[in-house]
Structure 1
């Protein structure tokens, strides 16, 4: 091998390893958590949340009282807001969401399944679906982000359970809420 060519080979090898690592990361992010996806537990539907404006008009600064302890996702129906809370009880992220036309009852749930990419029940392509409840009539309820970034109000004539969020918030939810994670729904 000519002098200097070993540096070129080393550089090409490093670039190839980086590309393979990136592709492996993408594949793992898009893969379902498991082959057998458990069916979400049944729950009753809460009254639909109005889609015009949140109950609390100013951005809530504090985690809702009585929202549990430890690592959890807290979803406040009236405030149309989610908090991601770590094991020490520290809020790591909070963000606004667009409620679905069907809401889960306030109680504690567990994340039952996750799907990387799928078409939503409203026909919109979505990503980072985190399913945690089943509402009356067999409507699955979960968090998701529209691939086009939209957060439009759902059609009230359709019974949908997709709680929509911005794509960056969907990325954070996907990383945080693995199968078995606690989701606390408060009024």
Structure 2
């Protein structure tokens, strides 16, 4: 008798689940859009927002990048921003693409320590407008521009042991003029 009662319970449970599933399907098919459950692929919204969250532009200043006059260097974005003390949240300060160095600083706040108008870089290239701001295991990290105007080839790993974050000559001049001694350099992931 015990085996027949367990079969009956299993059958009733399966039937009940089928009825609940059918009723749930019917309810969702007839529900107005205003109460429909969003799909897993729907974009999240901010509290109080009226629509999906807007994707962040790669040119937009990263959140939590400090305050006041500073150079913001995004390691993953391969970009720097020159932010003066008058910049307001949501403003778009000047930004420039960079070719990262082989040795990168950890995300943190640094200060411009030294600058050189023209030297030979750690990779043997003549460079100008060198703005140094960090040191990682004896490797000095800084922004610079190659005098011949060349940039590292995208996708090619920089020479091991160099700390040169390269910019175009034009962009390097702008960073040089902005990042004087003591100016903050905020490195973000």
| Structure 2 residue 178 is matched with structure 1 residue 176 | yes
TM-score by length of 1: 0.65
Equivalent residue, structure 2, for 1:101: 102
Q: After superposition, where does 1:128-147 map in structure 2 within 5 Å?
A: 128-136=129-137, 138-147=138-147
Equivalent residue, structure 1, for 2:44: none
Equivalent residue, structure 2, for 1:88: 86
Q: Runs (4+) of structure 1 moved beyond 6 Å? A: none
Structure 1: give runs of 5+ residues left out of the alignment.
1-57
Equivalent residue, structure 2, for 1:76: 74
Equivalent residue, structure 1, for 2:162: 160
Contact 1:143-1:165 within 8 A present in 2 as well = yes
Contact 2:118-2:126 within 8 A present in 1 as well = yes
TM-score by length of 2: 0.65
| Structure 2 residue 64 is matched with structure 1 residue 66 | yes
Contact 1:84-1:91 within 8 A present in 2 as well = no
Equivalent residue, structure 2, for 1:150: 150
2:128 match: secondary structure:
strand
Contact 1:101-1:159 within 8 A present in 2 as well = yes
Deviation at 1:61, TM superposition (A): 2.5
Q: How big is the alpha-carbon RMSD for the aligned residues of Structure 1 and Structure 2?
A: 1.7
Equivalent residue, structure 2, for 1:120: 121
Structure ranking higher on relative contact order (CA contacts 8 Å, 6+ apart): 1
Matched residue count: 129
